[in-house]
């Protein structure tokens, strides 16, 4: 059974006056460096899904995403590396020329199939999946964002490698699979804070809870830093991301990581982290 390549990643300290004034240390786990294309949490979310697809004898992966989906990008690259075919069900109409994400996916061999936003809402319905089977034949289905029990298992395995040299673990939240895996992997230790990048997603708490192995109490979700919603990037966020890169040499994508670090900085300014504490930020990859 073939597996994705993996590069061990460092932990980098962020020396910033904001954190020094707050009396805290901030570290970033550079999981964005674990693979050139299947980076960050996507590597771990796909790990056991890719193993299961091969175990079942599937030769084709099918998944869902928007036109700028990190997950589409990563799945296409993973399929190419493992010698599998891939199909991406893309929300919305085709727009030419293709953007860099979809161009890359197609260069990896992914077959792109566009559906209307209305039809896309039915992607979980059995009738919709049956229609895809009739059209494309046999495939292994990976949900939008890659979140399922196998993805949570992979993230939990990653969490168990983080050690104990921190008091808080902060991560961006999309579908909830990554934070659920982190909670399971840390088994009640440390404080875990998730910052959703989508607007109006209070339902995420319930979505996260359904993947938990135990009702651990050491986590929370902060809904205050979505910056207008998914893929919204107001000018202050763009400025923040550029200044962060100039100061610390770390690229932040505007969908996930820029919002996460922006949140950590502003929470530090507000005194939300205990003095003397160490905050570990998960750099979960993403396309700058």
Instruction: Give residue-wise pLDDT tens across range 145-195.
Output: 999 999 999 999 999 999 999 999 999 999 999 999 999 999 999 999 999
For residue 286, the model assigns a pLDDT of: 82
First and final CA of the chain: distance in angstroms?
Answer: 32
Residues of the chain with pLDDT under 50: none
CATH of domain 11-37+148-282: 3.40.50.1100
Cβ–Cβ < 8 Å for 39, 32: yes
Q: What is the mean pLDDT of the chain?
A: 96
Q: Would you state the pLDDT for residue 106? A: 98
- Domain ranges across the chain: 11-37+148-282, 41-146
DSSP 233-281: --HHHHHHHHHHHHHH-----TTTHHHHHHHHHHHHHTT-SPTT-EEEE
The pLDDT value given to residue 156: 98
The pLDDT value recorded for residue 287 is 74
Distance between CA 194 and CA 218 in Å, rounded? 11
8 A C-beta contact, residue 186 and residue 159: yes
- DSSP letter string, 164-182: S--SEEEEEESSSHHHHHH
pLDDT digits (tens, 9 = 90+) for 232-262: 899 999 999 999 999 999 999 999 999 999 9
Classify 41-146 by CATH class: alpha beta
């Amino acid at each position: 059974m073939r597996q994705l390549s993996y590069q061990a990643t460092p932990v980098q300290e962020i020396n910033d006056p904001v954190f020094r004034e707050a009396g805290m240390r901030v570290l970033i786990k550079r999981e964005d460096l674990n693979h050139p294309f299947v980076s960050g949490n996507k590597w771990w979310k796909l790990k056991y899904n890719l193993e299961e697809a091969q175990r079942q004898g599937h030769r084709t992966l099918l998944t869902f995403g928007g036109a700028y989906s990190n997950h589409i990008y990563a799945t296409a690259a993973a399929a190419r590396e493992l010698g599998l075919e891939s199909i991406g069900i893309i929300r919305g109409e085709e727009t030419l020329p293709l953007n860099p994400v979809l161009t890359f996916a197609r260069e990896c061999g992914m077959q792109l199939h566009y559906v209307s936003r209305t039809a896309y809402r039915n992607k979980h319905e059995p009738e919709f999946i049956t229609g895809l089977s009739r059209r494309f034949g046999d495939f292994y289905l990976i949900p939008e964002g890659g979140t399922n029990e196998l993805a949570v298992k992979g993230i939990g395995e990653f969490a168990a490698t983080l050690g104990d040299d921190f008091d808080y673990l902060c991560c961006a939240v999309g579908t909830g699979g990554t934070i659920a895996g982190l909670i399971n992997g840390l088994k009640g230790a440390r404080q875990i804070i998730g910052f959703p990048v989508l607007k109006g997603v209070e339902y995420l708490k319930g979505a996260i809870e359904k993947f938990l192995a135990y009702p651990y109490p050491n986590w929370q979700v902060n809904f205050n830093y979505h910056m207008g919603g998914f893929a919204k990037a107001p000018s202050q966020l763009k400025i923040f991301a550029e200044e962060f890169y100039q100061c610390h040499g770390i690229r932040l994508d505007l969908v996930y990581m820029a919002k996460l670090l922006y949140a950590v900085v502003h929470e530090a300014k507000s005194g939300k982290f205990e003095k003397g504490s160490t905050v570990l930020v998960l750099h979960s990859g993403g396309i700058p």
